[in-house]
Amino acid sequence: MPRERVIFLVDVQSFFASIEKTADRSLQHKPIVVAGDPERRSGVILAACPLAKQWGIETAEALWEAQQKCPGVTVVKPHMQKYIEISVQLTAIMESFSDLVEPYSIDEQFIDLTPTLHLFGGSPYQAARLLQHKIQQEIGVYARIGIGPNKVLAKMACDNFAKKNKEGIAHISYDTLPATLWPLPVRSLFGVGSRMSRHLERMGIRTIGQLAQTPVERLRKKWGINGERLWLTANGIDESPVSPRSHDEQKAIGHHMTLPRDYETLEQIKVILLELSEEVGRRARRKGYVGDTVSVGVRGARFDLPTGFHRQTKLTEKTNDGLDVFKAAFDLFCTHWDGEPIRSAGVALSGLEPDHCRQLSLFNFETTLKKERLSKAVDHIKNKYGAAAILRAASLTAAGQARDRAQKIGGHYK
């Protein structure tokens, strides 16, 4: 029987907040939260340090709610460029332990130590402590590490145990699965949200163990392949490798924006759709993709009566040109918009394939080449002088957001 793999899921505690405390020692013993600007509708808690969490503050809640819970909380604006740089540094540290490192999110990464474990004492715990210490010494942040024979068990070891014990390290093996994971409530299973947990509880499935012992046919009949996936996860079955290239191939390239105010007129919304489409085209070109499916999603302005839609359309030819994307996106919007104000919008391009192997039409070959040359020239200017170096005139109107967003990463200032 082959030996169990040794997979770590490394998670940095309160990543954004920890980095801010490392950068400013005066914050060390204060409750702090990292949050955006409430005036621009980004006043949401992105991270809360352990001291702030003791007051009941939670990630993703509104800043004003957090300030009510803890009136003395220190609010720090996010520095996204710094967080990305630290995340890359974290990857480099992990790559000194194994070349099999797979980023899962900005603050979570998988690492497969099966081939190199003997170089770090031979024990998963020893290797985890060494990695934990190195991250603390070089970056100044505290990492929790879940250990398992596959990615899903490593993830659940981290979320359910390593984050809650003093060591910050926890191990789930196939042998210990029934004693460790199965007694937990079904909502603790990776991939089960509040809605799914309610469905399962109505079926009499209240623990992960009960889910693991439910006939897979029953789950498959009710939820199809998703039901089978739940059964596999509950039984700790996951054959997916830790792959450094797992995110190289994309299914879609999209861009979404929460607007600084409600946009009420078609002319205002048209500007936003144009900016979103241009950014989608630029990202597709940078990554070397073309696509033939454009989708648009918007959310209405009212919280008490959620409105909006998400629709897609197929193009006759694959493209990565922003204007091509915009024309399809704008037609979709005009077809499905109910005329009510919107507070957020998103545009995406899917049906992707590498741009070097597509079939060009003989009837508009010259036009396509001209658009590509123009797009490359614009990309070159933006790459050299910044995203706001060259803009469409529409972006200079009051509705435009491109200049402001050029200073941001992920919707937050760098």
- Give the residue ranges of the annotated binding site: 11, 107
Contact 310, 257 (CB under 8 A): no
Residues across the chain: 414
- Given a contact cutoff of 8 angstroms between Cβ atoms, the answer to whether 38 and 143 are in contact is no
Is 108 one of the annotated active-site residues of the chain?
A: yes
Q: Pick out the residues of the known binding site for Mg(2+).
A: 11, 107
Cα distance between residue 186 and residue 190, in whole Å: 9
Q: What's the chain's Rg over C-alpha atoms?
A: 24
Instruction: Give the position of tokens 């900005």.
Output: 106
CA neighbor of 305 nearest in space, from 264, 346, 341: 341
* Region for residue 384 given its phi and psi (left: phi exceeds 0; alpha: psi -120 to 50; beta: otherwise): alpha
- How many secondary structure helices (H) and strands (E) does the chain include? 15, 15
Task: Find where tokens 């994307």 sit.
Answer: 325
Q: What is the DSSP letter of 158?
A: I
Spatial distance between the Cα atoms of 36 and 20, rounded to a whole number of angstroms = 14
DSSP-assigned letters across all residues of 181-221: TTTSBGGGSTT--HHHHHHHHHTT--BHHHHHTS-HHHHHH
The active-site residue, picked from 108, 275, 278, 279, is 108
Residues annotated as part of the active site: 108
